[in-house]
Structure 1
Amino acid sequence: MSKDSETPEERRERLRQEEWKDNLGGNLNDSLNRGNNGSLVDLVGGLGWKGTGILIIVIVLGFIVYSVFFR
């Protein structure tokens, strides 16, 4: 597959793999932390743009409700 016809998700994954090849020590640390905590990149990549928008709206509405009722 050429680099021109790849999807944004494939491009992101390819760039992440290239970065891991260049930084082996950081890769070990990142892998240990990602296993425990997860990753925002993986979350947003899995949700897509609609899911990410809904997540942001829910967070903002939750903050508004919290600030109104718990002041």
Structure 2
Amino acid sequence: MNNRQEHPKEKRERLRQQELKRNPGGALRDGFSRGENGNLTDLVGDLGWKGTGLLIIVLLVGYVLYKLLF
């Protein structure tokens, strides 16, 4: 066995896979509702801090440009 620690992203995926095995219908329903509502936590977790900062900057610049043009 390797002594490598599990990253949070890997742990979330492992727990998600275990839940799918135990309760496939409930996981499917959760997936549909998550897709409808969006999940900011997953988005930010996948982007990391640099990607999140870039997303915020792009949104702010877009908002400023929108206000200037309209």
Percent identical pairs in the alignment equals: 49
Q: Distance in 1 between matches of 2:22 and 2:56?
A: 33
TM-score by length of structure 1 reads 0.54
TM-score by length of structure 2 reads 0.54
Q: Distance in 2 between matches of 1:21 and 1:60?
A: 42
Work out which structure has the larger RCO, using CA pairs closer than 8 Å and 6 or more positions apart in sequence.
2
The gaps in structure 2 that reach 5 residues or longer are none
Q: Distance in 2 between matches of 1:22 and 1:42?
A: 25
Structure 1 residue ranges, 4+ long, deviating more than 6 angstroms after superposition: none
1:25 corresponds to which residue? 25
1:55 corresponds to which residue? 55
Alpha-carbon RMSD: 3.4
